[in-house]
Amino acid sequence: MTELIVAQGDITRFTSDVIVNAANSSLLGGGGVDGAIHRAAGPELLEACRALNGASTGESKMTDAFRIGTAKKIIHTVGPVYSSRDPQESARLLASCYRTSLDLAEGYRSITFPAVSTGVYGYPMVEATGVAVRTIREWQAQHPQTSLETVTLIAFSAADFAVLSAAIGQ
């Protein structure tokens, strides 16, 4: 069974086969974790993302990790803007981000997620964490033979770490 854990730190320096980028629909970089990942990966990431032709909300696409030496791949997922949708639709789209990212990570041993949509996209941290944990656990139950040994939810701040820890009972 895949282990679900919580960590605090910088996703660009966290050791994981696959890291997830909370991207915008252009996939061409932005602020927050998206900007940090693009800066750490270098200009090759921008070129690789241009070739992907963007992504829709709830969709995920994968590139190499380039200069992020702690990862092999980056999965770019486009979370919902919370304030622009009803809560059920936001939850459905956010769950799709986690599900499609896990599907793309099949074949690797570890994946690390930031708190998708909780920054500038305005998704409340507690609600977003609930969607993330439920979706990951459902995916684990549906994929008992997965190659993924570890799924990590990473928090940059101590406050977010406390929310994530409470959600998984850690």
Rounded mean pLDDT, 139-157: 97
CA-CA distance, 10 to 156, in Å (whole number)?
A: 6
Joined tokens for residue 143:
């994929």
- pLDDT level of residue 85 (50, 70, 90 thresholds): low
**What is the predicted pLDDT for the residue at 42?**
97
| Neighbouring-strand partners of residue 68 | none
pLDDT digits (tens, 9 = 90+) for 114-135: 999 999 999 999 999 999 999 9
Q: CATH for 3-168?
A: 3.40.220.10
Greatest CA separation for the chain: 40
Burial 75-99 (b: 16+ CB within 10 A, else e): bbbbbbbbeebeeeebbebbbbbbb
CA-CA distance, 5 to 60, in Å (whole number)?
A: 22
pLDDT digits (tens, 9 = 90+) for 10-56: 999 999 999 999 999 999 999 999 999 999 999 999 999 999 999 99
**What is the predicted pLDDT for the residue at 84?**
60
CA-CA distance, 106 to 148, in Å (whole number)?
A: 7
Asked if pLDDT for residue 163 goes beyond 80, the answer is yes
CA-CA distance, 142 to 100, in Å (whole number)?
A: 13
Q: How big is the chain, counted in residues? A: 170
pTM check: above 0.85: yes
**What is the predicted pLDDT for the residue at 96?**
98
DSSP label at residue 82: G
Q: Residues 34, 64, 86, 103: which is the catalytic one?
A: 34
- Burial of residue 137 (CB within 10 Å: 0-12, 13-18, 19+) is middle
Residue 138: its H or E element:
helix 125-142
**What is the predicted pLDDT for the residue at 169?**
87
Active site residue 34: yes
What is the distance, to the nearest Å, from the Cα of residue 128 to the centroid of all Cα atoms in its chain? 12
- pLDDT level of residue 7 (50, 70, 90 thresholds): very high
Rounded mean pLDDT, 83-102: 91
Cβ-contact 124, 83 below 8 angstroms:
no
